[in-house]
Amino acid sequence: MTLTNWAGNTSFRASHLHRPTSLDELRRAVTGASRVRALGSGHSFNDVADTTGELVSLDRMPYLVEVDSGAARVRVGASTTYATLAREVHARGLALANLASLPHISVAGSVATGTHGSGVANASLSAAVSALELMTADGSLVTLRRGEAGFPGSVVSLGALGVVTALTLDLVPAFELRQYVRESVPDDAPFGELMADGYSVSLFTDWRDTRAWIKRDTELPAEWFGTVAADGPRHPVPGMPPGSCTGQLGVPGPWHERLPHFRPDAPPSSAGDELQSEWLIPREHAADALRELRGAGDLIRPVLQIAEVRTVAADDLWLSPSYGRDSVAVHFTWIKDTAAVLPVIKLVEDTLAPFDPRPHWGKLFTRWPSCPDRFRELVRRYDPHGRFGNDFTRLLLGE
């Protein structure tokens, strides 16, 4: 079996890919393998989803999107993409509070790694989960709900507790946004004010020239932090055609057609000709950290396609990179050359080290954060013999 992740930089070592069509088939796949991992849409850039055992994809499970309009929540099958989910909830006048840069990713895989968008008041996509249904190592199904002990460890869980079969997510009333791109953001623009002047604001930078992508519900004033309005649609990577991007130039549109940078019907970002890394730091260190990275810009640029700076509100999920702290997320889209990029990843990690960085679990990094003991206990409880373990979780758990 040759199966790779989306970017093609990781070849999964699994001997078999199961695609069960029922919970019974899933149970047989889980209990019949000594090592097994769930695979989402495969958009992570490292080996977090890999296993030397067997992989399980839930993409052939019965379709499940159950909207409870009264309670403003949706119960959704694990492998559903945000693109599909967004269309369904929007049709019922509801919305997810936030989305990542692309809607192509599965809900279970995204929340398992703490995937996020931007917005000073917007927490990670994982924070929208109010319940999840989990098949554990012995094939039993457990439901974990917000407010129960263990729940905060079970959402961002990197597949280490079992196979999530369905999740319940919070919804909000549907809303419209306008998306603007502003160029030539001055280095000395007040970071906190600028990032707060929209529902979701991203800065795209090569650590020399910076552009802001602003998603907000009101028109952007002509004068905005000394920036210049883009004279047409833009792609985050300078020079790339903007056809894969969501509507810009301030034209109002539904939340799910503005919050992601990329449209669901086109390949996102550099279409896989890329690697990615990201670290989250406490928001109060943003100005200092960005200054240090600009100082290292000459060493970063040779392997950089573009960097993106976003804000993520704190959550209470133990392994979330934004656990317990309002954060700034500093993302790097690298050229697709692991050998050339790795030393620069280490350089960025050294540069960010004074600011207590936490890596995005689905992207490339070399420095491991410590694992909370209570997560280790949760793994022992649901997977006592390490059926769902892989090299990635063993490094995390310090085994």
Ligand X SMILES: Cc1cc2nc3c(=O)[nH]c(=O)nc-3n(C[C@H](O)[C@H](O)[C@H](O)COP(=O)(O)OP(=O)(O)OC[C@H]3O[C@@H](n4cnc5c(N)ncnc54)[C@H](O)[C@@H]3O)c2cc1C
Residues found near ligand X in the complex (CB under 6 A) = 6, 37-44, 48-49, 58, 78, 100-102, 105-106, 108-110, 112-113, 115-116, 158-159, 163-164, 268-269, 360, 362
Task: Return the number of the residue (106 or 305) whose C-beta is nearest ligand X.
Answer: 106
How far apart are the two ends of the chain, measured CA to CA in Å?
28
Give the list of residues 6+ apart from residue 369 with CB closer than 8 angstroms, or none. Answer: 358, 359
Q: Identify residue 33 by its one-letter amino acid code.
A: A
For residue 222, the minimal CB distance to ligand X (Å) is: 29
20 or 109, CB closer to ligand X? 109
Least distance from ligand X to the Cβ atom of residue 285, Å: 19
Q: Which is closer to ligand X, CB of 320 or CB of 351?
A: 320
Cβ of residue 11: shortest distance to ligand X, in angstroms? 14
Task: Return the closest-CA partner of residue 204 out of 125, 308, 342.
Answer: 308
In the complex with ligand X, the residue whose CB is nearer, 109 or 153, is 109
Residue (3 or 189) nearer to ligand X, CB: 3
**Closest residue to ligand X: CB criterion:** 109
Phi and psi torsions of 288, nearest 5° = -65, -45
If the CB atoms of residues 224 and 260 are measured against ligand X, the closer one turns out to be 260
CB atoms within 10 A of CB 363: 22
Eight-class DSSP state of 246: P
Cα gap 41→389, rounded to integer Å: 19
CA 382 to mean position of chain CA atoms:
25
Q: Minimum Å distance from CB 166 to ligand X?
A: 9
Identify which of 297, 301, 391, 395 has the alpha carbon closest to the alpha carbon of residue 341. 301
- DSSP-derived letter for residue 75 is E
Beta carbon of residue 58, minimum distance to ligand X (angstroms, whole number): 5
Q: What share of the chain is helix, strand, coil (3-state, %, to 5)?
A: 25, 25, 50
Q: Provide, rounded to whole angstroms, the least separation between the CB of residue 94 and ligand X.
A: 22
Angle between helices 286-295 and 338-352 (to 10 degrees): 140
Closer CB to ligand X, 121 or 229, in the complex: 121
Shortest Cβ 19–ligand X spacing (Å): 12
CB count within 10 Å of CB 151 equals 20
Q: CB of 134 within 8 A of CB of 382?
A: yes
